[in-house]
Amino acid sequence: MASQDWFDKDFYAVLGVSKDVSDAELKKTYRKLARQYHPDSNPGDAAAEARFKNISEAYSVLSDKELRQEYDQIRAMGSGARFTAGGQGAGGFDDVFGGMFGQPRGGTRYQQSDFDDLLGGMFGNGGFGRTSGGFRGFGGPTKGRDVAATTTVDFLTAIRGDTVTLQVGAKPLRVRIPAGVSDGQKIRLKGKGEPSPDGGEAGDLVLTVTVRPHPVFERDGLNLRVDVPVTFVEATLGATIEVPTLEGDVVRLRVTPGTPSGRVLRVKGRGITTAKGTGDLLATVQVAVPNHLTGDARRLLEEFAAAMPDENPRTDLLDTARSAAH
């Protein structure tokens, strides 16, 4: 739920993006920053760890459409407003409406009934945030409000599942993160939200999970992707190479002669396992170009180039582009 932190923290500035940033650009920026400041990449660096936590918190809010809209609305109110936890009898606001109607800031704590009377008169309805129910004698009991929360887990935790402890309201709540949960996925915990104001069922807790990126692997559905560099000689003549797996061991893959950069080698059954099935490990070959050559190596490479047929590998590309331009 919203907290005072939302007034004090500029999540857009934390990620270095504009307020109209697209979802795709937001995710791209987050992944770049997360890799840069991940604790695994900065062991013992407290400043990097703190920055990483701030980045994760900002992304968990801005990547959720509803939370982002709520955050933008709250920030637009100004830093003078205060929010409190939505417990029993608490309206969840403090000082916001005091500023609207001339009340001193910090001097009034509004109860739910205060808001129902106040906003009911303003907007002509039977109470703030209420639909037809037992409140004020209409229909059956009213369900309590849902509560939104976020948590950030490591890549391996998301893959294997785990139990995390959340601080929701006054009491800690243990929540089971299912194996295979994806970045941005929402988990609904029935009856863990706010209590009903008139004896009905409690609301739900809607938990949004943010997954920290892995320094080597990237998730693609149930598959795992990894970029594997090979030398020019290995790609040209063929070779057997070692490829890492998520469990820490390696598998040996055959690179056939003449393998181009970008070719994907598949390892069956070494991806992510969930109730829906098991994915594969997809290793993308990246031909590594040497940045330093000895004199002998350069001479031999020049002899190799001279022995090759006089062909331009970009001929088809250029012809297609010219045809499309007319």
Domain boundaries, the chain: 143-214, 218-324
CA distance 42 to 39: 5
The residue-averaged pLDDT of 299-312 equals 88
Per-residue model confidence as pLDDT tens digits over 204-256: 989 999 999 999 999 999 999 999 999 999 999 999 999 999 988 999 999 99
Cα dihedral 317, 319, 320, 323 in deg (nearest 10): 160
Q: What is the largest CA-CA distance in the chain?
A: 93
Q: Tally Cβ neighbours within 10 Å of residue 53.
A: 13
CA distance 289 to 305: 15
231: which strand partners? 288
Q: What is the model's pLDDT at position 69?
A: 86
Q: Which fold has domain 143-214?
A: HSP40/DNAj peptide-binding domain (2.60.260)
pTM: 0.52
Secondary structure of residue 223 in the 3-state scheme: strand
Q: Same topology for domains 143-214 and 218-324, yes or no?
A: yes
Strand residue runs (E) in the chain? 82-83, 93-94, 147-153, 162-168, 171-177, 186-189, 205-211, 218-220, 223-231, 239-244, 250-255, 264-267, 273-274, 277-278, 281-288
Is the domain covering 218-324 a CATH 2.60.40.10 domain?
A: no
Q: Which of 291, 294, 246, 293 is nearest to 270 (CA)?
A: 246
